[in-house]
Amino acid sequence: MIENLRTWAVAGGVLMAMSTAAPVLAQKQGGILRQYMIDSPASMSIHEEATPVATRPVTAVFNNLVLFDEHVPQNSLSSIVPDLATGWSWNEDGTELMFPLRRGVSWHDGKPFTAKDVKCTWDRHRQLDWLWSKRCAS
């Protein structure tokens, strides 16, 4: 009798596990990302905000040209992997860095992601560096 009860208990546990696994396997892309934080970020500009409250939600929304491989325990130059770039190469002088961009990437409005977007971001970052250097110098 006890053996029979154990069998039914195991079978019931397996059925419960199978019934809860189906919704997990049936997930689809799209929808709303909800991430609860202790505060609201001041802005969605990763270049202007450096607090965990600002960076956590932004990293789930924006991509980078390259990033550190999350499967490598220690960040180093050898653990950098492409994201929006497909790779990178230096010129012979070591003064220019080229990032071929991944094809088929688009913004939320459907416009294609281009080298002009990268340049705009780079220029903005350099402008903010200049503004911060002026602010810190005074």
Q: Where are the domains of the chain?
A: 44-62+110-138, 64-104
What is residue 38's predicted lDDT score, i.e. its pLDDT?
A: 76
Using 50, 70 and 90 to split pLDDT, how confident is the model at 118?
A: very high
The beta-carbon contacts of 82-91 under 8 Å, at least 24 apart in sequence, are 84/113
Q: What is the mean pLDDT of the chain?
A: 79
pTM over 0.85: no
Of 46, 64, 65, 62, which Cα lies nearest the Cα of 54?
46
Backbone angles phi and psi of 75, in degrees to 5: -70, 135
Q: Which residues contact 69 (CB under 8 A, 6 or more apart)?
A: 79, 80, 81
Q: Give the Cα separation of 82 and 105 in Å (integer).
A: 14
